Chains A and B, each alone.
Chain A
């Protein structure tokens, strides 16, 4: 009877264990309340950033290093470019479609750069065609008008095949000419569409640079943290476990490293090593080795003295077994938590370094570099400094929130560190 009861109890426990991981994670919110939500929200953000960093080419609308639009275009503002206006039913999509022997009648407005732009592009196309060995030319017969309405009227009347005008000017009167369309920008490579987050001082797309910058930020954050983890954790384990002189020497060394102001040390290291992403990672990693070392050494010292280690020794366990099966698994949870907060720190330091012009080559799409450049033109184009700043803040917030939340959940004893 008693055995029967106990087996039933054990079965019930196994049922609980069989509940899926996802369901258990979901249920955990009842225990941990706000911390659970912190971790959940932060994890979603972290995952989103990681996806962005893995596939920046998929999400970024433009090449982050190319000039893709006019300079200093505000977020959402339409660029004002010379554009090709055609009757909606003409089938013309670019100047290439009207190449031929005849001079093409082109309506422009007197006193605007439109006629010059049209002729320049026509000459360029002619040059390209002749370079290809085709004996054709594109020649325009420019017909000047006083107002854009006159020019467009001529186009509607059929006296001109195309018109060239600035897109802003056309937009103002576009409603009056429903039969006319914008075929595209006159110059190949220019765009008529607006940029979600604007463009910077050399016409690069801010959004694309942000997305590609995520990759740089996460590479620096993760690599630097892994680097310091792989050096700091074994050193801490070793020092804490062996104790004695080695421990003292290592600890003094690590403490002196820890006592340095972080950014200053990183600046010194990158200044010596020279600009490259590897050097930035090394510099930041050196900065954070003592963090892991101290935590792991402290935990090792306390676990080493715990009764279960003594009990294991009394059963003949060797030092290697004690270290790998007793000390290490009991130390590693606090390392995992520090790791997450550490990534946030490393990203921030990395951005700080490139903001100061150290570390990364200047063409890199990096938040720190964008911040430094944006700062020069903050009064003219505040979006250049706002969006990279927000990006840094969000990433750091996500990782810190996740780390701190996990710390609250898994290791309340570490709370006051």
Chain B
């Protein structure tokens, strides 16, 4: 069909779009930062550069992959995703995101996501991943978005005390609160599943992936208190 209209759309002068404020832009950049593990970082970065020079693939050849040590593989997975992702939106910066606790975490790798080989590594080396991330977070006092996603993937619920103590250092990274809620949701923790927060963030049929709670001290304390109680109720290892 022919669309013969040259000027079919409209604007309302009183609804002009506001550029996100500096604080929002800065917080969005902060949210999207990944943590780069130190284990063989230089070697792994060079291998990744080699892959990226080849436009056709995002995957490290198996021979090179197998030559990496366990820790180097961890670094590779944490800084590079081999497969593709598809998103309905490019996840724009939400106005005043620094004042929100979101239901979902941002994408660490844009249009890429972890491949089956990478997820298999996560499953096979769960305890190693917990140990390496714990060491790395303890050193940097930072939980990059790649670590947060990995903690979700491996269901790293034993890391809850570390996550809370990291959050409490400066109360800045509200995605840690998001991560705590995702862990409670994924582990079907009843007090959370029956809460108003869960309903607003995850259970409403109209809920979109951009659902959020407004940040305030009461919300913050409630999430931390619930996550702590959830953690304390977990079976402890021998």
Q: Do A and B bind each other?
A: no
Chain B residues with a Cβ under 8 A of chain A: none
Chain A residues with a Cβ under 8 A of chain B: none
